[in-house]
Copies of this chain bind each other. A is one copy, B any other.
């Protein structure tokens, strides 16, 4: 079973966390043919945590999880905290294939979508 897990920072403002959940739902409906499950999790300040979200997906039968850091820049979170959390999850679930994608700010298409927005 093929799953997608978006990792956000998490905020004290529940509205910000809800924006992440709404984005996750939009990805879910766009990716029905690509992923059996699409979920989000938070590094801090909101639930579920990265390990909790991975555990839930594994319990649902995930054998492959694609993780996407929803971060604009490489800071300690992207460079250290997220890889550490995923390394721990790999030890706990050696039978599951976990793959981290580059973070959002790294996507080559970012300049294009910013410019496209002005032309709509």
Contacts and interface: CB of A to CB of B under 8 A. Distances in A.
Closest 5 CB pairs of A and B: A16-B73, A27-B111, A26-B111, A109-B113, A30-B111
Total copies of the chain: 2
Contacts of A91: none
Given A19-B72, A109-B116, 14 more contacts: A13-B75, A15-B73, A16-B73, A16-B74, A19-B74, A19-B105, A23-B110, A31-B115, A66-B118, A71-B72, A72-B72, A107-B113, A109-B113, A109-B117
A20 interface: yes
Contacts of A104: 72, 110, 114
Interface string A86-99: 00000000000000
B115 A113 contact: no
B107 A117 contact: yes
A83 interface: no
